């Protein structure tokens, strides 16, 4: 193959596209939540259970997928993940009731979970340390763009063709992506289109290759636990808004389905900005001489402050002002998660990055399951206000735990992880 200039950016572009498709497939049920609840005569708790089934499978698969990717590589790992979730997404068109939807959400969760530890592994393999947070920002912006595209796309497909066609169209996107992936992707060591100069840049400051590290060994490191606990506490904020935002806007803020399609994607525009800006700022700080520890923690702390906007979002009486505050929350979350997801590649050797990222995803999934179930219960009996207020405070606690338990974030070039309890 002829050398492709800036090949690593084409690679991360593919990961961005996979993430965008991932979220379009995931959000279809959430966007159609008002229709599903009305047609199937569901309570909020029952609707929340659909997401809970997805999250149980997604959480289990995060850890398993991370270990799988570290063993078989990202090329085959992504092939398996995207194929499984695309089949499940299309099969939603043939669901005959709540039971079928729950079963299909389980399969969807098993497949979609691999996207995140897989992306962390690809970034660790293809980018030098100073570029990883920005690369993570590009990948994570697929989450926001997926939300932006999904709201009008799914709404339009539903209004024009009905829910079966909606699932078939969105679910088929992954099969097209697989053709591009199988054609373009390989590791830097094996890629025939990678220029020598770019290969040298990619390998800059990299620790020597190591053998795969067992889960039990990874759980002996304080840095692993800091990521798991921080994501357990903070990721539920994101899941709250991607799961309940359409229903919240419909039932509490008076938006109809058409208005949800027109305005419901706005918080995800700011989420995209937060993802890219969070990665860019920490990368620029490192380039200016800041340590990885200082740069990552500065952005993470500032992002946690942004998420406090959930407090006025819960208390304001103006529906557009509430949406604007929610947009601040999503901006902050994506800046936060973008840097937190980069920490495994800052600390651990490449052979353990996907495994650590997967364990972080397990913590995130458990927190999201508990919070989603709690949300349905509280909303059915009280209101959204206690949930929104709690979600505003959780990131502050999660950030404090991340800093206190994880200690100094050291570049992988100078230090592998420290055992739990080390200074």
Q: What is the pLDDT of residues 363-393, one digit of tens each?
A: 988 998 888 778 877 877 888 889 999 999 9
**pLDDT above 90: percentage of residues in the chain:** 30
Predicted pLDDT of residue 82? 95
Q: Report the share of the chain in percent with pLDDT over 70.
A: 92
Q: Does residue 422 form part of some domain? A: no
List, in order, residues 6 or more apart from 17 with CB less than 8 Å away.
142, 177, 180
Query: What is d(CA 375, CA 387) in angstroms, rounded to the nearest whole number?
Result: 6
Provide the pLDDT for residue 416. 44
Choice among 62-71, 232-241, 256-265, 383-392 with the minimum mean pLDDT:
256-265
- Give the span between the Cα atoms of 295 and 301, in whole angstroms: 10
CA triplet 294, 299, 300: central angle to 5 degrees? 100
Q: Does residue 413 lie in a domain region?
A: no
Residue 419 lies inside a defined structural domain of this protein: no
* Assigned domain for 383 exists: yes
State how many domains the chain has.
1
Range of the domain at 155: 7-204+211-406
Burial of residue 113 (CB within 10 Å: 0-12, 13-18, 19+) is: buried
Whether the per-residue pLDDT at 411 is higher than 50: the answer is: no
Q: Is the pLDDT of residue 277 over 50?
A: yes
Do the domain assignments include residue 331? yes
For residue range 134-150, list pLDDT tens digits in order.
Answer: 888 888 788 878 877 88
Question: Which has more pLDDT, 266 or 422?
Answer: 266
Q: Is the pLDDT of residue 210 over 60?
A: no
State the pLDDT at residue 173.
93
- Domain harbouring 40, CATH code: 1.20.1250.20
Q: Please say if the pLDDT value at position 412 is more than 70.
A: no
- Banded pLDDT at 30 (limits 50, 70, 90): confident
User: Is 199 contained in some domain?
Assistant: yes
Res 332 pLDDT > 60: yes
User: How many angstroms separate the CA atoms of 66 and 299, rounded?
Assistant: 26
Is residue 1 included in any domain, yes or no? no
This prediction has a pTM of 0.74
Question: Whole-angstrom Cα distance, residue 206 to residue 54?
Answer: 36
pLDDT digits (tens, 9 = 90+) for 108-122: 999 998 998 888 889
In a domain, 19, yes or no: yes
Span 259-288, average pLDDT? 84
| Dist. CA 60–CA 358, nearest whole Å | 9
């Amino acid at each position: 193959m002829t050398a492709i200039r800036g090949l690593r950016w084409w690679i991360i572009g593919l990961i961005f596209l996979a993430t965008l498709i991932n979220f379009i497939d995931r959000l279809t049920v959430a966007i159609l939540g008002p229709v599903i609840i009305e047609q199937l005569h569901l309570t909020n708790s029952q609707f929340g259970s659909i997401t809970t089934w997805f999250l149980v499978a997604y959480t289990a698969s995060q850890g398993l997928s991370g270990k799988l990717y570290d063993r078989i590589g990202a090329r085959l790992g992504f092939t398996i993940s995207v194929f499984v979730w695309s089949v499940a997404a299309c099969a939603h068109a043939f669901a005959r009731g709540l039971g079928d939807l729950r079963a299909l959400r389980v399969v969807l969760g098993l497949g979609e979970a691999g996207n995140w530890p897989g992306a962390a592994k690809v970034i660790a393999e293809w980018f030098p340390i100073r570029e990883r947070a920005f690369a993570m920002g590009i990948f994570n912006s697929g989450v926001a763009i997926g939300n932006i595209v999904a709201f009008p796309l799914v709404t339009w497909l539903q209004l024009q063709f009905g829910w079966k066609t909606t699932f078939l169209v969105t679910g088929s996107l992954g099969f097209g992506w697989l053709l591009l992936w199988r054609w373009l992707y390989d590791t830097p060591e094996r890629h025939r289109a990678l220029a020598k100069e770019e290969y040298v840049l990619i390998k800059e400051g990299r620790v020597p290759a190591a053998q795969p590290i067992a889960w039990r060994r990874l759980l002996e490191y304080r840095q692993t636990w800091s990521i798991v606990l921080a994501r357990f506490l903070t990721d539920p904020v994101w899941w709250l808004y991607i799961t309940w935002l359409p229903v919240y806007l419909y039932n509490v803020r008076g938006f109809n389905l058409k208005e949800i399609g027109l305005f419901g994607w706005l918080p995800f525009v700011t989420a995209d900005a937060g993802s890219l800006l969070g990665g860019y700022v920490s990368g620029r700080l490192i380039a200016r001489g800041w340590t990885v520890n200082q740069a990552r923690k500065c952005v993470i702390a500032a992002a946690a402050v942004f998420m406090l906007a959930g407090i006025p979002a819960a208390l304001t009486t103006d529906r557009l002002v509430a949406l604007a505050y929610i947009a601040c929350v999503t901006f902050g979350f994506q800046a936060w998660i973008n840097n937190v997801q980069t920490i495994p590649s800052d600390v651990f050797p490449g052979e353990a990055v996907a495994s650590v990222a997967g364990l972080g995803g397990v913590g995130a999934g458990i927190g999201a399951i508990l919070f989603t179930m709690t949300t349905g219960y509280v909303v059915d009996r009280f209101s959204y206000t206690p949930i929104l207020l709690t979600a505003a405070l959780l990131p502050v606690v999660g950030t404090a735990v991340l800093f206190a338990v994880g200690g100094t974030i050291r570049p992988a070039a100078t230090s592998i992880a420290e055992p739990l309890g080390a200074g």
